[in-house]
Chain A
Amino acid sequence: DTEVTQTPKHLVMGMTNKKSLKCEQHMGHRAMYWYKQKAKKPPELMFVYSYEKLSINESVPSRFSPECPNSSLLNLHLHALQPEDSALYLCASSQVRGGPTYEQYFGPGTRLTVT
Chain B
Amino acid sequence: AQKITQTQPGMFVQEKEAVTLDCTYDTSDPSYGLFWYKQPSSGEMIFLIYQGSYDQQNATEGRYSLNFQKARKSANLVISASQLGDSAMYFCAMRDSGGSNYKLTFGKGTLLTVNP
Q: A residues within 8 Å of B by Cβ?
A: 2, 31, 33, 40-43, 45, 48, 50, 55-56, 88, 90, 92, 94, 98-109, 111
Question: Once the chains bind, are A109 and B43 in contact (CB under 8 Å)?
Answer: yes
Question: Once the chains bind, are B103 and A42 in contact (CB under 8 Å)?
Answer: no
Q: How many A-B residue pairs have CB under 8 A?
A: 69
Interface 1/0 per residue, B10-52 and A, CB below 8 Å: 0000000000000000000001110101000011111100101
In the docked arrangement, what's the CA distance between A33 and B42, Å? 20
Of all A-B residue pairs in the complex, the 9 with the closest CB atoms, nearest first, are A42-B106, A106-B45, A100-B95, A109-B43, A100-B33, A108-B44, A48-B102, A101-B33, A103-B47
Residues of B within 8 A of A33 (CB): 102
A–B pairs, 23, beta carbons within 8 Å: A31-B102, A33-B102, A42-B91, A42-B108, A42-B109, A43-B106, A45-B103, A48-B102, A50-B102, A94-B102, A99-B97, A100-B97, A101-B33, A101-B50, A101-B52, A103-B47, A104-B35, A104-B104, A106-B46, A106-B47, A107-B44, A108-B43, A111-B43
Question: Once the chains bind, are B96 and A100 in contact (CB under 8 Å)?
Answer: yes
Question: How many chain B residues have a CB neighbour from A under 8 Å?
Answer: 28
Interface 1/0 per residue, B50-79 and A, CB below 8 Å: 101000000000000000000000000000
CB distance from B5 to the nearest CB of A (A): 12
Residues of A within 8 A of B33 (CB): 99-102
Residues of A within 8 A of B46 (CB): 106
Q: B residues within 8 Å of A by Cβ?
A: 31-33, 35, 37, 42-47, 50, 52, 89, 91, 94-97, 100-104, 106-109
Residues of B within 8 A of A108 (CB): 42-44
Residues of B within 8 A of A98 (CB): 101
Given A42-B108, A100-B96, the answer on whether A56 and B47 have CB atoms closer than 8 Å is no
Contact of A88 among B43, B94, B96, B108 (CB under 8 A): B43
CB distance from A63 to the nearest CB of B (A): 22
Residues of B within 8 A of A41 (CB): 108-109
Residues of B within 8 A of A48 (CB): 100, 102-103
Question: Once the chains bind, are A104 and B50 in contact (CB under 8 Å)?
Answer: no
Given A100-B33, A101-B33, the answer on whether A45 and B47 have CB atoms closer than 8 Å is no
